[in-house]
């Protein structure tokens, strides 16, 4: 067995995760942009920071009784982060995550304390915000909280150097990027390595004669492992198709209009996805016989088959593929 194939995969929102925030969160983020911290008073008198649209205990709307809190705060709990995560954490040196309750608030917020050393941290310690000069209406407008000495006056936020859009903050943009390294698995590795050898490999379980091209490791009807490898043909029958008129976002997307189809390969009992070329899109039809067009350089991924073109053969009968629609 060859080494299983792995592929890098990134899950990312291009331009950042964009979301509207509504009037309550929007007001809080607007206050941060202005270099202030505001909470909202709940029906029972508690002051909620950071605020939500509803009382987290009763789910009643929070109303409109806004209260200035902080800028001094107290650390309720903390942990030390020895190795900041590049691209995720705002600081590039060790720091603390803490639950910080701003003075005048009855709840705490999770935020960052730039304390230099874990030895400085303690429950009950006094902290104050260190504001960014360029504030956009984000929880990260406070770059970090810093220790506040006895009798020390918190510094006011510097004048905002960011270009401010609108009177209130209406939305957030959060960069999100998650990185993966995915294993193809045993069966898919066999199939992908087959493409490199100009072969389309299928597999079947001992208990069945049904052959699955590009098996993921089991017979999906029974859940039995597909342990028997069977080569299938690189030609087959179009079972169904669609004409695509909407341009794809991917750089790999073909020019429109194009046809994508499901193809029942000769010798297989499942259909296989492919692009159809070499024929006007209006002439593509169910039952049409097609042949794979292989790339000049074969590799262990799907780019080894460029597309599929019609064979000079009569169409397959409907009965021959009606079970695969």
SS3 180: strand
CB of 225 to other proteins, least distance (A): 6
How far apart CA 281 and CA 259 sit, in angstroms, is 6
Residue 230 and residue 214: Cα distance in Å, rounded?
Answer: 11
Give min distance, CB of 155 to other proteins, in A: 21
Bridge partners (DSSP) listed for residue 265: 236
99 touches other proteins (CB under 8 A):
yes
- Cβ–Cβ under 8 Å, residues 47 and 70: no
CA–CA distance from 24 to each of 27, 39, 60, 64 (Å)? 5, 10, 13, 9
172 binds other proteins, rule: CB under 8 A: yes
Minimal distance, residue 252 CB to other proteins, in Å:
17
Report how far residue 280's alpha carbon sits from residue 24's, in angstroms, rounded to the nearest whole number.
Answer: 56
Phi then psi dihedrals of residue 55, to 5 deg: -70, 120
Counting contacts by CB under 8 A, is residue 50 touching other proteins?
yes
Q: Between the CA of residue 289 and those of 125, 127, 235, what are the distances in Å? A: 76, 73, 7
- Positions 130 through 169 that interact with other proteins (CB under 8 A): 138-140
Between 156 and 175, whose beta carbon lies closer to other proteins? 175
Examine residue 34 and tell whether it contacts other proteins (CB under 8 A).
no
- Candidate list 60, 161, 222, 317; residue touching other proteins; CB under 8 A: 222
Among 81, 146, 244, 275, binds other proteins (CB under 8 A): 81
Contact between residue 288 and residue 238 where contact means Cβ atoms under 8 Å apart: yes
56 binds other proteins per the rule CB under 8 A: yes
Min separation Cβ 105 and other proteins, Å: 9
Q: For other proteins, which stretch binds (CB under 8 A), given 47-55, 156-164, 229-237, 265-273?
A: 47-55
CA end-to-end distance (rounded Å), the chain: 35
Chain center to CA of 163: 29
* CB closer to other proteins, 219 vs 234: 219
> Which residues sit at the interface with other proteins, rule CB under 8 A?
4, 6, 9, 11, 17, 19, 21, 25, 29, 48-50, 52, 56-57, 76-82, 85, 88-90, 97-99, 101, 107-112, 118, 121, 123, 138-140, 172, 174, 176, 178-188, 216-225
């Amino acid at each position: 067995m060859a080494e299983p194939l792995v592929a890098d995969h990134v899950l990312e929102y291009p331009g950042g995760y964009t979301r509207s925030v509504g009037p309550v969160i929007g007001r809080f983020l607007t206050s941060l942009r202005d270099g202030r911290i505001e909470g909202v008073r709940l029906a029972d008198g508690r002051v909620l920071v950071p605020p939500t649209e509803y009382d987290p205990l009763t789910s009643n709307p929070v109303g409109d009784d806004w209260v200035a809190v902080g800028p001094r705060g107290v650390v309720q709990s903390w942990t030390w982060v020895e190795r900041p995560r590049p691209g995720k954490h705002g600081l590039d040196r060790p720091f603390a995550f803490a639950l910080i309750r701003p003075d005048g608030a009855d709840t705490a917020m999770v935020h960052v304390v730039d304390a230099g050393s874990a030895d400085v941290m303690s429950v009950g310690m006094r902290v104050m915000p260190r504001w960014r000069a360029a504030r956009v209406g984000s929880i990260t407008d406070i770059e970090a909280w810093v220790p506040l000495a006895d009798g020390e006056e918190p510094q006011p936020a510097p004048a905002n150097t960011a270009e401010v859009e609108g009177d209130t903050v209406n939305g957030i943009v959060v960069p999100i990027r998650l990185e993966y390294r995915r294993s193809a698995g045993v069966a898919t590795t066999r199939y992908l390595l087959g493409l490199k050898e100009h072969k389309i490999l299928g597999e079947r379980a001992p208990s069945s004669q049904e052959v699955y091209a590009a098996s993921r490791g089991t017979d999906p009807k029974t859940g039995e492992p597909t342990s028997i490898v069977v080569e299938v043909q690189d030609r087959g029958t179009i079972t169904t198709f669609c004409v695509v008129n909407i341009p794809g976002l991917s750089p790999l997307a073909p020019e429109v209009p194009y046809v994508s189809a499901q193809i029942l390969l000769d010798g297989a009992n499942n259909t296989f996805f492919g692009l159809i070329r070499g024929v006007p899109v209006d002439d593509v039809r169910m039952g049409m016989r097609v042949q794979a067009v292989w790339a000049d350089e074969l590799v262990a991924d799907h780019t080894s088959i460029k597309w599929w073109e019609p064979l000079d053969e009569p169409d397959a009968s409907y009965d021959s593929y009606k079970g695969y629609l």
